[in-house]
């Protein structure tokens, strides 16, 4: 049970670090434009499967900029301190 909680805590910290870092990077991009440099990974355009009665759309996009990467590193360091 302890291990499952640790993995969940790590995932939540990583998600929070990436979100906060990404938002701060976009907000501070006026002053430090290098923070918005990054890459976009995913399926673009999304894959669409149309079966007469059912239409399925599969898509995924991950945008990682420098500020989000810094947030991820800080989240891992915070997790190690817990």
Cβ(74)–Cβ(17) below 8 Å: yes
Cβ-proximal residues to 58 (8 Å cutoff; 6+ apart), any chain:
43, 46, 47, 48, 49
pLDDT the model gives residue 62: 85
Q: Is the pLDDT of residue 1 over 50?
A: no
Phi-psi region of 42 (alpha: psi -120 to 50; beta: other; left: phi over 0): left
| Burial (CB count <10 Å: 0-12, 13-18, 19+), residue 68 | buried
Per-residue pLDDT of 39-76, as tens digits, reads: 888 888 889 998 889 999 999 988 888 999 999 999 99
pTM for the model: 0.73
Domain enclosing residue 33, as ranges: 2-81
Domain count, the chain: 1
pLDDT the model gives residue 13: 93
């Amino acid at each position: 049970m302890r291990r499952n909680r640790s993995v969940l805590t790590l995932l939540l910290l990583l998600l929070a670090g990436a979100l906060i870092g990404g938002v701060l990077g976009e907000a501070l991009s006026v002053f430090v434009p290098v923070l918005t440099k990054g890459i976009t990974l995913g399926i673009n355009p999304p894959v669409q499967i149309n079966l007469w009665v059912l239409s399925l759309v599969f898509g995924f996009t991950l945008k990682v900029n420098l500020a989000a990467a810094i947030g991820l590193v800080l989240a891992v360091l915070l997790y190690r301190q817990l």
